[in-house]
Structure 1
Amino acid sequence: MKKLFGILAVVFVLTSCQEQQKIAYVDNAKVVNEFQKKVDFEKIFQVKVAAFNKKADSLEQAIQIEAQLFQAKAAKMPQKSAETEYQALLQKKQMQDYQLQGEEQSLQGEGQKQIDTLIKEVKAFVKDYGKKNGYTYILGANDAGSVMYGTESNDITQTVIDALNADAKKEE
């Protein structure tokens, strides 16, 4: 009888120690790309990029017109004056290129900073979502292969996207 009680006690201890782990995965890229805040940001950012491109094109056209005018009158100018004006035109073009390069880098930096902020927000949301819904792990699937295989029943990508967007709407 003591042996039977001892065996039952060991079996009870072993089975009670085994905790069921809840594991799921999400497609990282899909979650970020379908996050409404990112979609909205991209629309706004595309407008900024288009405005920058339009400005760059108009400045380039203006400098080309100046160059054509210079070529037309250069033949009638003394060589020294023509060289001086040509150097001034080159310097103006270089300054314009430098300014546009700075603006482009600034625009790219702004875009990258916003994307990084959105990625951090998604990560924090998934972590909180996992805690609230009793997950032991939520793995991230990506092209690098961090999740090589997972059953579709463990894919909570769309659920997380829906919850993330609903949460973001509440913040507005």
Structure 2
Amino acid sequence: MRVFLTLRTQRQMLILGIVALAVISIILAAALFHDRETPEIVKLGKGLASVDAQPVRDLEPRAPANVPEPVPSPSESGIGNGRASFYGNELAGNRTASGEIFDPKRLTAAHRTLPLGSRVRVTNARNGKSVIVRINDRGPFHGNRVIDISTAAARTIGLIRSGTGRVNLALLVS
């Protein structure tokens, strides 16, 4: 008889545990479902949109509208402008066209035609920040991009979040 009472109590506890787990699951599912139906709405420009719809390029701080075009110094020669991208950690350790090992922490870049070893000032047209890079590789070979810069250079001029951006290039003359 005592064994029967013990088994009965254990069965009751098991059933209560299963019921409690089911109730908690239903409450959690209802809370998650409610969250999906009402995304956080924020004001973007002239209208409203959910946070998920915000373009990444809008997350970067914008420069004032009157940022002047960079004027090359006498030791610099403007060589044009265009889109820049950056290449990062996935290529770390590979050999570049110059024969050196690529390190994304160094201020280097790839250009299709400039001589290897050339130094170029890359200026972000959006915020006016600039960095001097050394050409040690060839590229970019995709799209309409004029230069690929290292992760460190992209971080310096604020291209990390967007991945690409409009830049001005100036060749430093020695």
TM superposition score category, shorter chain reference = under 0.3
More helix by share: 1
- Tell me the TM-score normalized by structure 2: 0.27
More strand by share: 2
Larger radius of gyration between Structure 1 and Structure 2:
1
- Tell me the TM-score normalized by structure 1: 0.27
The structure, 1 or 2, with the larger RCO (C-alpha pairs under 8 Å, 6+ apart) is: 1
